[in-house]
Amino acid sequence: MHIKRAILTILMTLSVVASFAQRKKLPNLPYVDDKLLHFGFVLGMHAQDFSLTPAECIDADGIEWKGDEAILSPGFTVGIISDLRMSKYFNLRFVPSLNFGERKVSFAGYKDGAKVQEMTTNVMSTQLLFPLSVKFRSVRINNYRPYLLAGGGMIVDISRKSDQILMLKPIDYFVEVGVGCDIYLEYFKLSPELKFCVGFNDMIERDRPNLENEADIKYTNAIDRLLSRLLILSFNFE
């Protein structure tokens, strides 16, 4: 009789332990990806610069100026996520965001083949990004689901000033590719994401009637083409 009770107690204990272990292994938010439409927000950091093609410009002193390089500068990103489920593996995403930062461009002046002067200017930027992208998700593994991202969109610069040494055009268009991973937590989904955006509009504004120092037009003329580049590391909360 005692043996039967002991066996029954052991079986009941094992049953409770197995039930508890099974419950702990259940995935978080098992049905969150079945929603047709959901929303979230983005917090992140970015680094932005330019792809610069130099030109030659000779000033009144006979110095030949060239755009030298664009210097990578950090900034901050915040945005809102709208996500539409198209199928089991594909989602359509619209993530308007606001970027705060600056970009730096340096110039070099040459005379008789030797560098005689240097100058670096800051280009302040407050950008509104309007990207539309397709998210391709892999099969979910426990509480993780890697994905790829591709798309494009428009950038509107709302902070440009007419008295800057370099003035950018207000609108740019870009393509983007990215990679990330959905991490399913108990109450929400966290997605670290790395994205690279490349603009294809020449951003130099060459019509400068409001330039305070007319001699500064040499810096505009020392650049043949200026394309935007943007690297964004974001954390998506959905």
Per residue in 191-226, pLDDT (tens digit) is 999 999 999 999 999 888 778 787 888 999 999 999
How many domains does the structure of the chain reveal? 1
The reported pLDDT for the residue numbered 171 is 95
- 124-to-23, 47, 114 alpha-carbon distances in Å: 53, 13, 31
The reported pLDDT for the residue numbered 12 is 58
- 143-152, 175-184, 191-200, 215-224: least confident range: 215-224
- 11-20, 69-78, 91-100: least confident range: 11-20
Q: Is 13 a domain residue?
A: no
Q: Is 21 a domain residue?
A: no
Q: Which residue has the higher pLDDT, 72 or 51?
A: 51
Q: Which residue has the higher pLDDT, 139 or 24?
A: 139
Share of the chain above pLDDT 70, in %: 89
Residue 131 lies in domain: 32-237
Q: Is 7 a domain residue?
A: no
* Average pLDDT for 22-34: 76
Q: Is 57 a domain residue?
A: yes
Q: What is the pTM of this model?
A: 0.82
Q: Which residue has the higher pLDDT, 92 or 211?
A: 92
Cα dihedral 210/216/217/221 (nearest 10) = -150
Contacts 24+ apart (CB under 8 A), 53-59: 53/223, 53/224, 53/225, 53/226, 54/222, 54/223, 54/224, 55/221, 55/222, 55/223, 55/224, 56/222, 57/218, 57/221, 57/222, 59/109, 59/215, 59/218
Share of the chain above pLDDT 90, in %: 55
Q: Is 59 a domain residue?
A: yes
The reported pLDDT for the residue numbered 25 is 59
The reported pLDDT for the residue numbered 19 is 47
Q: Which residue has the higher pLDDT, 16 or 154?
A: 154
* Average pLDDT for 177-203: 95
Q: Which segments of 112-214 are extended strands (E)?
A: 114-137, 144-157, 171-184, 189-199
CATH label of the domain that carries residue 106? 2.40.160.20
Q: Is 53 a domain residue?
A: yes
Angle at CA 234, nearest 5°, toward 228 and 235? 165
Q: Is 20 a domain residue?
A: no
The reported pLDDT for the residue numbered 22 is 44
Q: Is 112 a domain residue?
A: yes
Summarize pLDDT for 4-21 with one digit per residue, the tens. 554 455 445 545 444 444
Mean pLDDT of the chain: 87
- Measure the CA–CA gap between 29 and 238, rounded to whole angstroms: 11
